[in-house]
Structure 1
């Protein structure tokens, strides 16, 4: 094994021991509360971790785009949920191919989406499973009321080539009570309409430890829990010591006493702030603030630091948002302790199609 000091920067380090702990802890929680776990792979984009989650008890995986699904099917994963409105002939054709080789489900939030799916699958030997996406407070995609969900479910159930399989949501962080009430209402409305949902899929990591309070849900789809990040720490999902992904950067300039420049900018750390101050957290210099990013440089304010890094020092940074970082690097370095175990390609990197 190679010492971390030999890794060139900027680079992504993934602590495999912390990954294993995070995966096992959340699987145990889901098992305890009778929730199926369907992890979202957009955080890591690595088949090895998708397989590991399934080995620990996950029922399958969630992907966000067709490209991610194609990579995971190629890697031998066959139970996939793709909660996205699929639009356009080219994408619909790819979806049909995927459905022939995997246990697949998608979402729809309008009659237009349902019509496109049905036109593609009406002649298919294998029907497509479709869930109604519900906006329970996030304000993104989704039907706006339980009544609309019932109407769309009826359209799916009668559309050639489609099977109505349930409902899903990606809720607003902090909106557990509203989300729970919404999903209970839509479940009851669907049952009353003679369309009992087989699956009620809830999601998100920020309120993960309250997932059992959403009693109508049958499954949960966390993503960032595998790595955690600075934002999830701020939401008390885990601690800094639980964060498995760090960006390794080198100090390349000290133009003033209180300023350090690193070789990691927005192309390495992401410009997401998510309401936090600065662009990451440096555990070895907790008082430091990463105040700004250009494409290839990061500026660190060292004013409140009692000790300060020198040119050539390497810093491990916990990013604000780990999911974006995974899509910025071709490879990541799997580490255990202070040793490099393996360097692996990010298989689904760039698959945003």
Structure 2
């Protein structure tokens, strides 16, 4: 079964095609901004999901304090579009990156994260190149075991290093607590804060993160801001986490069924180069809205293998279906552009301006 809109998108743009519902995008922006306002927490959305300055400006216009970027390349796109309050939530290393960071800091208010002395030692070069102080937050690991110092003592020591470095300002702490680890995060933060205050420092920024942590928003006493990313589009992972509904999922991949070689199987024209192999810990590789019992079982590069054995309804060759990705962030990074719709109307395209900006 192909909807009227799906037929129009296939006819005008072809498939596979990433399509965003702008009514849902705007609703998601408003919902999370209200949640932040109600919790008394500033919203600093992460652009890693949409990678587009137009949407970033929509978030700021709705009340966001600034934005978060993971890489310098993303930040360069955003600064060139006129956005001037950016946190880069990633360790930056090397002469090339310091030169680029310095150029950004000369044009916009940049804050960067660091979790080790090697990173901190390089940052004064960026500050010197910009001609003004650079704000640095200490990234803290409170249980996720990704990046971040592992103990409050390490956080305190690194804060002192930052404050003692020419051209740097210790700005606070950045945390990414697990969904069930906020009590541990509070204990870590309280000890770290007391320690830096004992050395005459303070934390003006205490940044928490993660769309799945919507249910924990405001729970960290002393938190000043939260970094939401995936909420702008949502995906199967956010639905599974209980922080979004299927109706909150604003991005769908429109894909054509190109083969039905046997009754219980089929092929989509969306393979690993479209939906990616990131399952997010879920079974299958996306939800087909028209056939929710069907399973996208595996991929070749341009083939999505359908398991239809549990599906009461089965698509025909030529049907255009809508897929909610497991992890929308990595899917968007595969796209040059997304098609925008409102209701049944196509209203234009939006470039994924920071696509592939991995450096």
* 2:284 equivalent in structure 1: 278
1:258 paired with 2:260, answer: no
Measure, in 2, the Cα distance between the counterparts of 1:124 and 1:329.
Answer: 33
Q: Choose the corresponding residue for 2:150, options 127, 130, 144.
A: 144
* 2:41 equivalent in structure 1: 35
* 1:154 equivalent in structure 2: 160
Deviates most, 17-26 or 205-214 = 205-214
The answer to whether the Cα contact below 8 Å between 1:61 and 1:81 also exists between their aligned partners in 2 is yes
TM-superposed CA distance for 1:206, in Å, is: 0.8
Measure, in 2, the Cα distance between the counterparts of 1:184 and 1:245.
Answer: 39
* 1:331 equivalent in structure 2: 337
Measured on the aligned residues, the alpha-carbon RMSD in Å equals: 1.3
- What SS class does the counterpart of residue 73 from structure 1 fall into? helix
Measure, in 2, the Cα distance between the counterparts of 1:88 and 1:125.
Answer: 19
Q: Choose the corresponding residue for 1:212, options 211, 218, 224.
A: 218
Deviates most, 8-17 or 180-189 = 180-189
The answer to whether the Cα contact below 8 Å between 2:208 and 2:225 also exists between their aligned partners in 1 is yes
* 2:186 equivalent in structure 1: 180
Unaligned runs of 5+ in 2: none
* 1:311 equivalent in structure 2: 317
Note the alpha carbon deviations across 1:310-335, whole angstroms, 9 max, x for none.
00000100000000011001010011
Q: Choose the corresponding residue for 1:225, options 225, 231, 234.
A: 231
TM-superposed CA distance for 1:123, in Å, is: 6.0
* 1:243 equivalent in structure 2: 249
Measure, in 1, the Cα distance between the counterparts of 2:183 and 2:345.
Answer: 44
Measure, in 2, the Cα distance between the counterparts of 1:123 and 1:268.
Answer: 40
* 1:60 equivalent in structure 2: 66
TM-superposed CA distance for 1:249, in Å, is: 0.3
Measure, in 1, the Cα distance between the counterparts of 2:303 and 2:180.
Answer: 34
The answer to whether the Cα contact below 8 Å between 1:200 and 1:216 also exists between their aligned partners in 2 is yes
CA 1:220–1:255 in structure 2 vs 1: closer, same or farther (change >3 Å)?
Answer: same
CA 1:123–1:74 in structure 2 vs 1: closer, same or farther (change >3 Å)?
Answer: closer
- What SS class does the counterpart of residue 288 from structure 2 fall into? coil
Note the alpha carbon deviations across 1:243-300, whole angstroms, 9 max, x for none.
0011110000001101110000011111111211000011211111110011100011
Unaligned runs of 5+ in 1: none
TM-score (norm 2): 0.95
The answer to whether the Cα contact below 8 Å between 1:131 and 1:164 also exists between their aligned partners in 2 is yes
* 1:114 equivalent in structure 2: 120
Measure, in 2, the Cα distance between the counterparts of 1:300 and 1:173.
Answer: 32
The answer to whether the Cα contact below 8 Å between 1:23 and 1:226 also exists between their aligned partners in 2 is yes
The answer to whether the Cα contact below 8 Å between 1:176 and 1:207 also exists between their aligned partners in 2 is no
Measure, in 2, the Cα distance between the counterparts of 1:24 and 1:184.
Answer: 31
Measure, in 2, the Cα distance between the counterparts of 1:176 and 1:246.
Answer: 32
* 1:320 equivalent in structure 2: 326
* 1:344 equivalent in structure 2: 350
- What SS class does the counterpart of residue 201 from structure 2 fall into? coil
TM-superposed CA distance for 1:124, in Å, is: 4.4
Which ranges of 4 or more aligned residues in structure 1 deviate by more than 4 Å? none
- What SS class does the counterpart of residue 107 from structure 1 fall into? strand
- What SS class does the counterpart of residue 211 from structure 2 fall into? coil
CA 1:95–1:41 in structure 2 vs 1: closer, same or farther (change >3 Å)?
Answer: same
Measure, in 1, the Cα distance between the counterparts of 2:283 and 2:255.
Answer: 19
Aligned length: 352
* 2:299 equivalent in structure 1: 293
The answer to whether the Cα contact below 8 Å between 1:229 and 1:322 also exists between their aligned partners in 2 is yes
TM-superposed CA distance for 1:339, in Å, is: 2.0
